[in-house]
């Protein structure tokens, strides 16, 4: 049993929208001690493979700032190549966010999602997905208000959470201390219908059964439901709840 929260309980979330002035949409999202700046920028062009196809694209970039970890994180540019972990995570973010938008309605535009971790305490990829959705919402709201988009391309919310097993105990939303000693570790992405967008799961120190997988999914659903509640509060306050509107 955890000392500060229930095993199925997520960490406290705080979202500060419009955190930076230059992006079309931005948010500082805090999940416990994990803090990520997420921005969304809309460009009037698409990748070469989409030219002339009258549809848009969403791409993501993810990085951890040097002081985001106890031991300084070396910048990718200093190494001359993208860190393999960073590349894998930014692809996950891009895949996840492309499921929540109608790329045909978006038209020949690219939305760039940039996620910069300023403090890491577990769950940086899931926090980045949740923050990216809010930044995306804000960017689309601005584009609609400015007449740069005629119709709203958003079709669903997207939320993500980590679940795992530590010392035989099933936990939701693992912090670094828990994640670093997890027997089983999963990252799960769902839409607002709680349909599965993606599952990343591995047995770190122990295997798990198919029955346990379904239990992990139930745990994830509880956590993602709470994340959506945080989003709804933010959307209501800033009047940005316009999915399918």
pLDDT in tens, 82-100: 888 899 999 999 999 999 9
The reply to whether 167 falls in a domain is yes
End-to-end CA distance of the chain: 42
The reply to whether 159 falls in a domain is yes
The reply to whether 8 falls in a domain is no
pLDDT band at residue 138 using 50, 70 and 90 as cut-offs: very high
pLDDT of residue 119: 98
The reply to whether 1 falls in a domain is no
pLDDT band at residue 154 using 50, 70 and 90 as cut-offs: very high
The reply to whether 6 falls in a domain is no
CATH number, position 229: 3.30.230.70
- Structural domain including 133 reads 13-238
* Number of domains forming the structure of the chain: 1
Query: pLDDT tens, 168-222?
Result: 999 999 999 999 999 999 999 999 999 999 999 998 888 999 999 999 999 999 9
The reply to whether 207 falls in a domain is yes
Q: How large is the average pLDDT for residues 104-115?
A: 97
| Residue 2 in this model has a pLDDT that exceeds 90 | no
Task: Compute CA distances 61 → 41, 76, 150, whole Å.
Answer: 12, 12, 27
Q: pLDDT higher for 237 or 138? A: 138
The reply to whether 33 falls in a domain is yes
């Amino acid at each position: 049993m955890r000392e500060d929260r229930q095993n199925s309980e997520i960490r406290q979330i705080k979202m500060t929208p419009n955190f930076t002035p230059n992006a079309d949409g931005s948010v500082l999202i805090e999940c416990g001690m994990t803090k990520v700046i997420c921005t969304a920028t809309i460009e009037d062009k698409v990748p070469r493979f989409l030219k002339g196809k009258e549809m848009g694209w969403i791409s993501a970039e993810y990085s951890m700032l040097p002081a985001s970890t106890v031991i300084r994180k070396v910048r990718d540019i200093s190494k001359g190549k993208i860190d393999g972990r960073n590349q894998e995570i930014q692809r996950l973010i891009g895949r996840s966010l492309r499921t929540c938008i109608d790329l045909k309605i978006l038209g020949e535009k690219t939305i760039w999602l940039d996620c910069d971790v300023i403090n890491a305490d577990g769950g940086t990829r899931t926090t980045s997905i949740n923050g990216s959705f809010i930044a995306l919402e804000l960017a689309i709201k601005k584009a609609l208000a400015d007449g740069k988009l005629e119709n709203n391309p958003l079709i669903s919310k997207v939320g993500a959470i980590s679940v795992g097993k530590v010392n035989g105990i099933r936990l939701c939303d693992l912090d670094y201390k828990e994640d670093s000693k997890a027997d089983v570790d999963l990252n799960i992405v769902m839409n607002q219908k709680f349909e599965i967008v993606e599952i990343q799961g591995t047995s770190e120190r122990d295997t798990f059964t198919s029955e346990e997988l379904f239990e992990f999914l139930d745990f994830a659903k509880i956590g993602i439901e709470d994340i959506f509640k945080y989003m709804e509060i933010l959307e209501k306050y800033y009047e940005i709840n316009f999915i399918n509107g």
